[in-house]
Structure 1
Amino acid sequence: MEVNDRPPGAPATAHPGPYERYGPYGAADLERYVPEPDKRPGRTAFQRDRARVLHSAALRRLAGKTQVVDPGGSGAAATDTSPRTRLTHSLECAQVGRELGAALGCDPDLVETACLAHDLGHPPFGHNGELVLAEFAADCGGFEGNAQSLRLLTRIEPKKFVASPDGGAGEAGLVSVGLNLTRAALDAATKYPWPRGGHPTTPGSPKFGVYEDDLPVFAWLRQGAPDGRRCFEAQVMDWADDVAYSAHDVEDGLQAGHIEARALLSPPERAEVFGCAADRYAPAGTDPAELAEALDRLLAQPWWPRRYDGSALDQARLKDAASQLIGRFCLAAEGATRERHGTARLTRYGAELVVPREQRLECAVLKAVADRYVMQRPAQARRRAEQRVVIGELAHTLLARGPEGLDPQFRALFEAAPDDRGRRRAVVDQIASLTDAAATALHARLTRPATSG
């Protein structure tokens, strides 16, 4: 445990060392909530941030959280390859974001840190678990995976501790400040820089990036930032996320036998895909004809997979198609952004990432293909219903029987909570930290009928 005597939120000092290696990034970008000396002078602050996320337990736990295709499921080619988890998706997103960010002038370690961190707060069973926790936490600030990621980075993941400013609860009067990343890293990892209900254009949007409890550190990391605007590195992270999962989820779906390439030539099947894209992934008001054109552009490419039988040749073709898609989407964004902003290094609030509409719609169609053929399978619908029961019952059981069933870290938060609102938040933090298997096992243990004798 590392301890610093400075209370959280106190003014930070400028980052020591030469600034030349940081280019357009200034002293404020390099500040940490709690100042720390450099342990290795030759390493940049952003390299240090990247290492902290890479070595975190929260990142490792993503290996036990499903991305789209269940690693334990069966399919036509289930033995040929391992489908992606949240961890492998995060690693692939980091590679995409690092290269795109570097091409546009961002610090590559900074963008990679944001990409590695972007899914840390997602709960067991992905968005399915997120919906249940949002309902359970409605009276204590709600739940959102991105807000949970910020909470984890700044409070939950054990790395740095400081003296509590009010001498309150916590081991020996200490309070965690999480990984204590730089201001620029936390800002780059913030996909939705507003609290619940604070979306700049759609107040009713369920997307937000900070809980009420975490507003002090959020205000600190957003010092000098325009209200509701994402920094350039966060925009690169967000597009890298879309690019990685749109290409790879279709790849996983084809390999698992859930997607049939020829189905995309059938008018009824296409209509369902376009309906899903219009409802969930494409910009509001998108004409289905535009979505059809987007899909047809992809189908016309010489590398597009027209069949898949699990052979080595088909595996190679499918892998090439995923690579071609990633290159297509990243090069389009790089070219359009450079066309608008020129050749200067683009960082922080000095530019906006420009993604051509054609590529946004192609990406939306790919997401809809995975949604329609993987997530909407009848077996998945049943599985999601079972998962919602697990998370819902687990949340209410932990609240009723707590601190029983809570890990020591969250037990302490539960016991120190002054009211039901605080206890609910401790339960949510506990559940969000679990892998799919751990949530299922804990639910079974706590809800198993007692046996006599």
Structure 2
Amino acid sequence: MPAQPQRLIGGYDAADTDRWLAEPGKSAARTPFERDRARVVHSSALRRLGAKTQVLGPGTDDFARTRLTHSLEVAQVGRELGKSLGCDPDVVDTACLAHDLGHPPFGHNGEVALAQVAAGIGGFEGNAQTLRLLTRLEPKVFTPDGVGVGLNLTRASLDAATKYPWSAADAPPRADGTPSGKFGVYVDDAPVFAWLREGAPDGVRCIESQVMDLADDISYSVHDVEDAVFSGRVDLRRVAEDEARERIIAQIRDWYAPALSDEVLVTAMDELSALDYWVHRYDGTRRGLAALKDMTSQLIGRFCDSSARATRATYGDGPLIRYDGNLIVPDHVLAEITVLKGVAAAFVMAPREDDPVFRRQRLILTDLVAVLYDRAELALAEIFAEDWSEATDDDIRLRVVIDQVASLTDLSALQWHAQLCGPDAGTEI
């Protein structure tokens, strides 16, 4: 019988705390997982999220969330949920803080533009870009011969941050059979991906990653609605109206395509709007804002508590880490989260898809890729110019340019575009 791995930190073993590049001599005052979290907190990539779009762009108002504030909220939700299940809270916290690091300027809109530009070299996906940043691009640790290995996080933290543990070629379809388009690794990052997935079942996420994913879903579904109500874009009384419900369900079908019937979605709307703390009317007063924030808090608790209870009912009270079990999310929780996503999508995100501002944003990123590719040696930031000089073919060079553009914030993308393409470029729609 093979020897069992030695358990070290809260049930995690030595393989879980391994790093791609060994770092001997580190102080034992912090655990490896505490060190992982600190590296993400101090990363330049995390700071840049403060100027990247979540749903409403930075500067839209003083209330709307950015990618950074969203990530901080995901980390708080995920840390508490993971801790209640026995996961190391720093592993979950690290994964939650890191989960959006690879997203480009202009939110989902920017991701669409870069995916089109990168279609011939394996595409662009924010989650795959996150892995690339954590293991290659973020300047922190280098091999003796000068190769960057990013933040050099532990295997457990990297695996937890991998929301989609497969390549584009291996991506499973959605529940309705359509392609998901979601993947977690580019072909040229396959070696480190294979390392971090050693011992993991193919295509299965560790429970810490599942907690991160649910915390993300909960946070953006609840907080996007909160931002939309505060800004006056959504009146939650409309969730009880037949016309609005049809619009929400149609949007869910178009964007999220879950295997949920109309009956299930309508029931979820009924249950949400019947909650004592549901804000049927927001008046903009301090008391009104307090009620809106209370609704947010209560919904987060509702979804987390239901999922924790369901998971414990399946697996018992012992600690759950890595591949000891799966997070059980009750059907009614999935339905209610999906409805909240549908509300924000139907009344905020979908209507702006053809707005000239959002078409211009996509054109700006497309322009930037083209001009930076043509003028790379002069225009790329020095750290990316070094990657360009070491590239051995055109596909690698294009990936370097996309790495550069993806790293920009909303504001710096606009500034670079004005400087490199002219202030009036990108206005032809």
Q: Indicate whether the TM-score tops 0.5.
A: yes
Distance 1:280 1:378, change over 3 A: closer
Structure 1 residue 369 and structure 2 residue 343: aligned? Answer: yes
1:64 to 51, 62, 75: 51
User: Which residue does 1:308 correspond to in 2?
Assistant: 282
User: Which residue does 2:87 correspond to in 1?
Assistant: 106
Give the CA deviation at 1:177. 0.4
Q: Percent identity?
A: 54
2:375 to 401, 413, 418: 401
| Whole-angstrom distance in 1 between the partners of 2:150 and 2:197 | 17
Structure 1 residue 126 and structure 2 residue 107: aligned? Answer: yes
Structure 1 residue 51 and structure 2 residue 38: aligned? Answer: yes
SS in 2 for 1:180: coil
Of 34-43 and 353-362, more deviation after overlay is shown by 34-43
SS in 2 for 1:160: coil
SS in 1 for 2:377: coil
SS in 2 for 1:348: coil
User: Which residue does 1:419 correspond to in 2?
Assistant: 393
**Matches for 1:12-31 after TM superposition, within 5 Å:** 20=8, 22-31=9-18
Structure 1 residue 180 and structure 2 residue 149: aligned? Answer: no
| Whole-angstrom distance in 2 between the partners of 1:72 and 1:201 | 37
Task: List runs of 5+ in structure 1 lacking aligned partners.
Answer: 1-14, 165-173
1:85 to 59, 66, 69: 66
User: Which residue does 2:194 correspond to in 1?
Assistant: 219
| Whole-angstrom distance in 2 between the partners of 1:379 and 1:254 | 20
Structural RMSD (CA): 1.8
User: Which residue does 1:442 correspond to in 2?
Assistant: 416
* 1:146-178 Cα distance to aligned partner (Å, 9 max, x none): 0000000000000001134xxxxxxxxx11000
User: Which residue does 2:427 correspond to in 1?
Assistant: none
* 1:319-366 Cα distance to aligned partner (Å, 9 max, x none): 000000100000011011111111110010110110001110100010
| TM-score normalized with structure 1 length | 0.89
2:205 to 230, 238, 243: 230
Distance 1:83 1:209, change over 3 A: same
Give the CA deviation at 1:415. 1.9
Of 107-116 and 200-209, more deviation after overlay is shown by 200-209
SS in 1 for 2:12: coil
User: Which residue does 2:136 correspond to in 1?
Assistant: 155
| Whole-angstrom distance in 2 between the partners of 1:235 and 1:200 | 16
Give the CA deviation at 1:449. 7.7
SS in 1 for 2:379: coil
SS in 1 for 2:419: helix
| Whole-angstrom distance in 2 between the partners of 1:23 and 1:414 | 43
Structure 1 residue 116 and structure 2 residue 97: aligned? Answer: yes
Structure 1 residue 346 and structure 2 residue 348: aligned? Answer: no
* 1:18-65 Cα distance to aligned partner (Å, 9 max, x none): 965x12100000000111135331211100000000000000000000
Give the CA deviation at 1:120. 0.2
| Whole-angstrom distance in 1 between the partners of 2:277 and 2:395 | 53
Residue 131 of structure 2 contacts residue 185 of structure 2 at CA under 8 Å; is this kept in 1?
Answer: yes
Of 86-95 and 396-405, more deviation after overlay is shown by 396-405
Runs of 4+ residues over 6 Å off in structure 1: none
| Whole-angstrom distance in 1 between the partners of 2:264 and 2:258 | 11
| Whole-angstrom distance in 2 between the partners of 1:34 and 1:160 | 8
Residue 127 of structure 2 contacts residue 183 of structure 2 at CA under 8 Å; is this kept in 1?
Answer: yes
Residue 417 of structure 2 contacts residue 423 of structure 2 at CA under 8 Å; is this kept in 1?
Answer: no
User: Which residue does 1:7 correspond to in 2?
Assistant: none
* 1:232-289 Cα distance to aligned partner (Å, 9 max, x none): 10000000000011110000001111111222222111100011123323523x2112
Residue 191 of structure 1 contacts residue 209 of structure 1 at CA under 8 Å; is this kept in 2?
Answer: yes
Distance 1:379 1:237, change over 3 A: closer
Task: List runs of 5+ in structure 2 lacking aligned partners.
Answer: 425-429
Distance 1:57 1:319, change over 3 A: same
SS in 2 for 1:372: helix
Distance 1:34 1:403, change over 3 A: same
Report how many aligned residue pairs link the two structures.
Answer: 417
Give the CA deviation at 1:440. 0.9
- 2:214 maps to a residue whose letter is W
User: Which residue does 1:431 correspond to in 2?
Assistant: 405
Distance 1:449 1:320, change over 3 A: closer
Residue 197 of structure 1 contacts residue 205 of structure 1 at CA under 8 Å; is this kept in 2?
Answer: no
Of 149-158 and 382-391, more deviation after overlay is shown by 382-391
| Whole-angstrom distance in 1 between the partners of 2:295 and 2:132 | 37
SS in 1 for 2:293: helix
| Whole-angstrom distance in 1 between the partners of 2:246 and 2:82 | 36
| TM-score normalized with structure 2 length | 0.94
Residue 46 of structure 1 contacts residue 110 of structure 1 at CA under 8 Å; is this kept in 2?
Answer: yes
Residue 144 of structure 1 contacts residue 207 of structure 1 at CA under 8 Å; is this kept in 2?
Answer: yes
1:209 to 165, 184, 194: 184
User: Which residue does 1:11 correspond to in 2?
Assistant: none
Residue 96 of structure 2 contacts residue 161 of structure 2 at CA under 8 Å; is this kept in 1?
Answer: yes
Give the CA deviation at 1:93. 0.1
* 1:194-245 Cα distance to aligned partner (Å, 9 max, x none): 1112124569431110011100100110101111111110000000000011
| Whole-angstrom distance in 2 between the partners of 1:375 and 1:26 | 43
**Matches for 1:2-17 after TM superposition, within 5 Å:** none
2:163 to 191, 200, 204: 191
